[in-house]
Chain A
Amino acid sequence: MAVKLSANYSKKLGLPGFSSHSFSASVEVELTDLSQVEAQCQKLYQLLQQSVDHEIQQVGFVPGEFYGINAVDQSGNNGHRTQHANCHTNGHAQNGSGRGYNVNGHSRASNGNGGGERWNCTDGQRGFILRLVNEHNLDKQEVEDLARQFFGTGVRELNKMQASQLLDELLAKVGQPRQTRHRRQPSSSQPQPAVAS
């Protein structure tokens, strides 16, 4: 009776700017009997790994940090990168206060270019996250996973509040916890010893 052995090897690697690429290869061989399984597994694993490793070194197109911004700018910003040109709405209703004042003073691009290549937080936050990743050799996939664990969304999709929280986590991770203490004010206007709020 012929025995079929299927082997699959896949690898996913992180790339700059929170990109990643993956490649997998699989083969199926027929064996004459079960005693060949162990040796064949060893052989196939080596073969597949070498093949995948060889190919995955070709990274192909890697989007730059500002990938997609030109497309946004063409829609009305003359191709010049403005301070918040890389922000998009992330599907949140931007109703602000309901009386028409601009959310955060940051006019966000909302041209429907929601390919996920732009960052939803501020330029400063994006720069800070990237700097921490580079300076401390953080694994980008781990950072991405952290964002997903906390917010259920990728780093680029984080809003400003979430990006700030992620930065707190990253700073703590690299041993530079952000100073979040603030002078707490009395919780009542009645005269009493200072209490914390």
Chain B
Amino acid sequence: MSARTTNAATTASTPGAGARSEKEIIAELLQTVSASRLTLFLQCRLKFFFRYVLSIPKPKAPALHVGNAVHAALKARNRARWLQQPLSLKALHDSYSAAWTDESEGKVDWAGAEAEEKAIGWRLFETYLREHPLPEDLKPDAIEVSIEADLREHGLPRLVGILDLVLQSRIIDYKTSSTTPNPERVAHTHEVQTSGYAVLYRHNTGQRELGLELHHLVKLKNPKVVVTLMPPMSDEQQTRLFHLMDAYQTGLQRGDFVPSPGMQCACCEFFNECRRWK
């Protein structure tokens, strides 16, 4: 299987990989894993390889940039409420704009639509504010907190992640999306992430979460918010997550980076590199 890795590597440029060898990078990736990295690995191993092993630089996706700016405004709002110093709409807009100008994750190719996209993102945030005012007396337990869980005793890599918001022992994750989530499917399609967050929460607090929530901010002509409530992670869900983490580990150890052609290729930034894979 490692030959497949080599084939992929030789057909792609590796400007972002720096001086570290492929082996060293994989060894590092075996140490820790986040839910998003695991999800990408499960979605398409070759895409994972291009992004995390070869680090092929790509322009930042506009939707990702909008999402980051909305997250920054949500964080500012939650933090201010936590400190019981609510921010004015203007101050929140300043946080949003500051995040908008941040290009540390790469420049975005806006194709002339930056102002429009910025307005869409802000409208999305305003909609959320309107539809989900945080009660004055509700203090968050955590806001965008980075935590990790040592899963060595399960023979697994360390799990790392960032919880957007923990409120009254409920884990809340914000999502910006261009389509309305399907309520039946959304719990399944985000299970790696939600289970990962539950494991992180339990390991870092010694408590079981009371539930999980996905707050989708949907970018429609008339923006809307869809909240999906989920119960605490079940034992079966945790077992599934651990199996998937095991598959990640085994796959990386074997250098198993085969492509998974499918619907997701329509928006894959590594499409050209992928076509050269053999």
Contact = CB atoms under 8 A, between A and B. Distances in A.
B270 to A, nearest CB: 12
Contacts of B276: none
Interface string A118-159: 000000000000000000000000000000011000000001
Interface stretch (A16-24, A54-62, A85-93): A85-93
Contacts of B56: none
Given A96-B202, A104-B150, A195-B67, A185 B177 contact: no
Contact of A164 (B105, B145, B193): B145
B189 A161 contact: no
Interface in B155-206: 161-163, 166, 173-179, 181, 186, 189-190, 193, 199, 201-206
A169 to B, nearest CB: 9
Contacts of A191: 263-267
A105 B154 CA distance: 9
B166 A161 contact: yes
A49 interface: no
A184 B141 contact: no
Given A99-B238, A164-B204, A188 B145 contact: no
Contact of A93 (B151, B153, B207): B207
B43 to A, nearest CB: 8
Contacts of A94: 206
Interface string B39-65: 110010000000000000000011110
Nearest to A172: B79
B63 A197 contact: no
B204 A98 contact: no
Contacts of A192: 178-179, 267
B36 interface: yes
B179 A104 contact: no
A70 interface: no
Contact of A99 (B70, B235, B265): B235
A43 interface: no
B68 interface: yes
B175 A197 contact: yes
- Chain B CB count within 10 A is highest, among A94, A108, A159, A160, for A160
B83 A149 contact: yes
Given A191-B266, A194-B64, A168 B146 contact: yes
B48 to A, nearest CB: 11
The 3 closest A-B pairs by CB, nearest first: A196-B67, A104-B203, A194-B61
Given A95-B207, A161-B141, 8 more contacts: A103-B206, A165-B145, A180-B144, A181-B68, A184-B67, A191-B267, A195-B175, A197-B67
